[in-house]
Amino acid sequence: MVSRQERQAVAERRREAMAVLAAAPGEDLLDLWRDAKLPDGAATLRGPETGLVALRGRMGGGGAAFNFGEATVTRATVKLPTGEVGHAYALGREKTKVRIAAIIDALRQRPEFEAAIEEKILAPLRDRRSAADAARRAEIAATRVDFFTMVRGED
Amino acid sequence: MYVAVKGGEAAIRNAHQLLADRRRGDRSVPSLTLEQIAGQLSLAVDRVMAEGSLYDTGLAALAVKQARGDMIEAIFLLRAYRTTLPRFGYTRPIDTAAMLVERRISATYKDLPGGQLLGPTFDYTHRLLDPELAGDEDPAGPQSRAGADEAMPRVSDILAREGLIEEDGSLPEDREPGDITREPPEFPMQRDLRLQALSRGDEGFLLALGYSTQRGYARNHPFAGEIRIGEVEVEIDVPELDFPLTLGRIRVTECQMVNQFKGSMKVPPQFTRGYGLVFGQSERKAMAMALCDRALRATELGEDITAPAQDEEFVISHCDNVQATGFVEHLKLPHYVDFQAELGLVRQMRREYEERQAGDETGAKTGERQEAAE
């Protein structure tokens, strides 16, 4: 019997993996996927198809929600020959990327592939993203204003 | 008499072919790539996404190229495209406090947690044309500074601690946010719908209205409490999964305008607020939006409505540049039948007028005699 906590932990790991895949630049994901040499046989249940999501903000930043625009989103659902179903959603219109992300989501549910996916695909994507974010933060930090007070000579 | 005719197919076809040729321009000059437009004219692309109300840099870059740089035409193209796609759902509200910040300034507090980050700004440039940019030379890379990864709370939250500023802005708990792309506008309008209209509204129109409030038409003493630009994560709940999915990140500009407010019958003296939230790096637009949002809250705050920027129906009905250009530009399409009818009408009125004039001349003397008699 799997405990509720364990189920939640599994769901959280899956959520995080799907977020990493959605954020990945298409070319990076395709390269890593090719190099990982994982089985790519999967039936497409839905898509990949592109549509819109309405984006919401909050008035004043934290108040009531409002719609402020839309974004293109592509989604796909696939099924492995062994029965696992994988989903993927990502901003943009990259159908190949999203289909592969859905296959990876399905393969992750099989214990024999989970470690390989983590090591060969998710970890490198996470590393690249945090390196890119850190570089951007450092560039922005260089534009931080350091105020200093002029000596006014009054006293 | 006017007889309906057909024709113009060949002329239209050839005009569009000519347009394609002129758009391409000198064939000895390389054609612009979408990567060049998205990468080097990125603020144009941001504006097209914001007013086209569709976040997709590749499509916006294509629209800019296809429209030969005509922004409103590009915005129109993007709006038309969005109608061809199905809607998958509504995202969770973005959290701008958790933004990967690329610029963050406050005109109200010098020292604030996270600091003042200028980012890639035009501010403090001398606005002198740079002849070197006409060439191909690459600039030096940006500086980097290792820094503590400090949290950057919203300035409005800092001010809120003293209780002198109103809260973020609420609507009834059970209210599902309205959507102007789904329901026709009705006035008076709730603030959520107004914000949606302003976020996609024309930058020039909102800028002029915002400017008018500063010049005294619905004066409301604004301060730029905070402007932040950066990327935020977008999350959505989908029926097939029992956890929220992260879709990726989008770049937005947020403006928190803080306005002095002397109080009214309804509300005690305090700082009130206007809010701007716009796709991309769109600082001027976000500021203009925040000024207009504040002005349009006049009824809610018990202020007298004295100026155009406070007139909800006027502002919201005219801020959409696709609607505006559609109605203005339709005037150039053939109106031959309408005009023929008007021509007949004016001819008749003129005839009647002239007859009256002639009648008045003969009747004038009678009239004078009558007045004298009275």
Domain contains A104: yes
A25 CB neighbours in chain B (<8 A) are none
Per-residue pLDDT of chain B (374 residues; tens, 9 = 90+): 556 667 889 999 999 999 999 999 999 999 999 999 999 999 999 999 999 999 999 999 999 999 999 999 999 999 999 999 999 999 999 999 999 999 999 998 888 888 999 999 999 999 999 998 998 889 999 999 987 677 888 888 777 777 788 888 888 888 899 999 999 989 999 999 999 999 999 999 999 999 999 999 987 789 999 999 999 999 999 999 999 999 999 999 999 999 987 777 777 788 899 999 999 999 999 999 999 999 999 998 888 899 999 999 999 999 999 999 999 999 999 888 889 999 999 999 999 999 999 987 776 655 555 554 44
Residue B107 contacts A, CB cutoff 8 Å? no
Domain contains A147: no
Domain contains A142: no
| Average pLDDT value over all residues in chain A | 93
The amino acid at B168: D
Domain contains A151: no
Question: A21 near B55, Cβ under 8 Å?
Answer: no
pLDDT in tens, A67-119: 999 999 999 999 999 999 999 999 999 999 999 999 999 999 999 999 999 99
Token duo for residue B36: 């060049």
Cβ within 8 Å of A, B 1-40: none
Q: Which whole-number Å values give the CA distances from B6 to B3, B10, B331, B332, in the listed order? A: 10, 11, 19, 18
Asked if pLDDT for residue A154 goes beyond 80, the answer is no
Neighbour count for residue B232 (Cβ, 10 Å): 21
Domain contains A129: yes
pLDDT in tens, A121-130: 999 999 999 9
- Which of A54, A58, A73 lies at the smallest CB-CB distance from B168? A58
Contact call for A147 and B110, based on CB within 8 A: yes
HEC readout, chain B: CCCCCCCCHHHHHHHHHHHHHHHHCCCCCCCCCHHHHHHHCHHHHHHHHHHHCEECHHHHHHHHHHCCCCHHHHHHHHHHHHCCCCEEEEEEECCHHHCEEEEEECCCCCCCCCCCECCCCCCCCCCCCCHHHHCCCCCCCCCCCCCCCCCCCCHHHHHHCCCCECCCCCCCCCCCCCCCCCCCCCCCCCHHHHHHHHHCCCHHHHHHHHHHHHCCCCCCCEEEEEEEEEEEEEEECCCCCCCCEEEEEEEEEEEEEEEEECCCCCCCCEEEEEEEEEECCCHHHHHHHHHHHHHCCHHHHCCCCCCHHHCHHHHHHHCCHHHHHHHHHHHHCCCHHHHHHHHHHHHHHHHHHHHHHHHHHHHHHHHHHHHHHC
Contact call for B100 and A136, based on CB within 8 A: yes
Domain contains A131: yes
* Residue B374: predicted pLDDT: 47
Which range of residues forms the domain containing residue A22?
4-136
Domain contains A154: no
Contact call for B115 and A145, based on CB within 8 A: yes
Residue identified by tokens 């109200």 is: B108
ipTM of the complex: 0.93
Domain contains A144: no
- Which of A18, A19, A71 lies at the smallest CB-CB distance from B54? A71
Q: Domain total for chain A? A: 1
* Residue B364: predicted pLDDT: 63
Chain B interface disruption, residue of A66, A72, A94, most B CBs within 10 A: A66
What span, in angstroms and rounded, lies between the C-alpha atoms of B300 and B274? 13
Residue A39 contacts B, CB cutoff 8 Å? no
- Which of A66, A67, A73 lies at the smallest CB-CB distance from B88? A73
